[in-house]
Amino acid sequence: MTALRFDPPTLPPGAEALREEVRRFLADERAKGTWSPRGDFGTHPDTAFSRLVGQQGWIGMTWPRQYGGHERSGLERYVVTEELLVSGAPITAHWIADRQSGPLILRVGTEAQKQRFLPAIARGEIFFCIGMSEPDSGSDLVSIRTKGTKVEGGWRITGRKVWTSNAHICDYAITLVRTGPQEPDRHSGLSQFILDLKAPGVEIRPIRNLAGHHDFNEMILDDVFLADDMLVGQPGDGWKQVTSELAFERSGPERFLSTYRLLAALVDRGGTAPDDRVAEATGRFVAHMWALRGMSLSIAGMLQAGETPNLEAACVKDLGNAFERAIPETARLVAPSAMPVAGANDPFETIQAEAVLNAPSITLRGGTREILRGIIARGLGLR
């Protein structure tokens, strides 16, 4: 049986100074009216704000300087990420490229791909999304049907992708495609491509969430031509590459801080002398959040050391999603009523309503609970 590891990490020297730097930047830009707090990191993309973050050197922080990066540690990136998330900053536009697409290209992309895409990502000038899930596959990526056929000079891609976050504002999508048979096992024959979302044959249709926001999309790929130089890695290596990304996708603080602003608002609503129900609920949530943060930081340390802690990352996402969804449900039950103020919106009610409407999507992104628990069970030798 594989043992779970969550070694306690140590933040590098200068981490707290960096944290203060991020806080000053956010305060200054908010004072200018550049941004306002959002309820969920996955909503309300703001490409202009992402460019400001890029100018600060906070996109591609760990990448080599020759590709536009800043050669800082993964734990420094963690500090920046944490501050951006708890403030509710609109970081969605550059999120996928910074967290997954850039590291994938850096790891298995060609030199030409690194030179072409990474510096522009780090400047916050181009944005990526992920084309994985499909209508009849859900999170079971092995069963995808989007097909790539080899032709002279490239590939013809046909199929459909769903739940593609922010495809309508992104430039490219790292897209998982079946390019070969499912032999010798069902994980064979998958490949990843850099899909230009403005290429002929690409159609993007909105999927609105319960809040009425347009974050998700359906992508229709109708005989889209992709040149050979848009293949990422080797043909047939798609599954290996996808699974190597999962620790990045599932372990970060975004997996337990999506409803942080509601927890903070609940503390404010409880005041300096909260009743027993609010005190018990907030105390329990803060303790859980601190434990999740320790687990997530531990994985950040392992990723920095070049390890692939997919099992531990699945645990963080499963526990983190349950935590994120429990906050709006509990807050609704225990929050004391406030005296209404004529002509003014109640900040707590506004944040709570947004959290409730966004909560169902929390478990979809990065793999459903069923997929995660299957990974954990296999990792522990239980199935």
Could you give the percent of the chain with pLDDT greater than 90?
A: 62
From the options 2.170.270.10, 3.30.1360.10, 3.40.50.300, 1.10.540.10, give the CATH code of 14-126: 1.10.540.10
Domain residue ranges of the chain, discontinuous segments joined by +: 14-126, 130-238, 252-380
Give Cβ neighbours of residue 75 (< 8 Å, ≥ 6 apart).
9, 11, 12, 15, 297, 300, 301, 304
Q: Could you tell me the two tokens for 318?
A: 């499963």
Contact of 359 with 325, CB cutoff 8 Å: yes
Question: CATH number of the domain at 130-238, please?
Answer: 2.40.110.10
Closest CA to 84 of 31, 130, 21, 167: 21
From the options 3.40.630.30, 3.40.50.720, 3.40.640.10, 1.20.140.10, give the CATH code of 252-380: 1.20.140.10
Closest CA to 218 of 301, 131, 153, 286: 131
Q: For position 254, what pLDDT does the model report? A: 87
Q: For position 297, what pLDDT does the model report? A: 93
CA atoms within 13 A on the CB side of 315: 20
Contact of 70 with 63, CB cutoff 8 Å: yes
Count CB atoms within 10 A of the CB of residue 285.
21
pLDDT band for position 231 (cuts 50, 70, 90): very high
Q: How far is CA 103 from the centre of its chain?
A: 13
The pTM score is 0.87
HEC string of 173-235?
EEEEEECCCCCCCCCCCEEEEEEECCCCCEEEEEEECCCCCEEEEEEEEEEEEEEHHHEECCC
Closest CA to 60 of 114, 10, 22: 114
Give Cβ neighbours of residue 108 (< 8 Å, ≥ 6 apart).
232, 233, 234, 237, 241
- CA–CA gap between residue 188 and residue 175 (Å, rounded): 16
Q: For position 73, what pLDDT does the model report? A: 92
Q: Tokens 């024959």 appear where?
A: 189
* Least confident span in 10-24, 210-224, 341-355: 341-355
Rg (CA), the chain: 21
Q: Residues 335-372: pLDDT tens digits?
A: 887 655 555 677 888 888 888 887 777 766 666 777 78
CA atoms within 13 A on the CB side of 30: 14
- CA–CA gap between residue 186 and residue 173 (Å, rounded): 24
- By DSSP bridging, strand 231-232 and strand 172-178 are unpaired
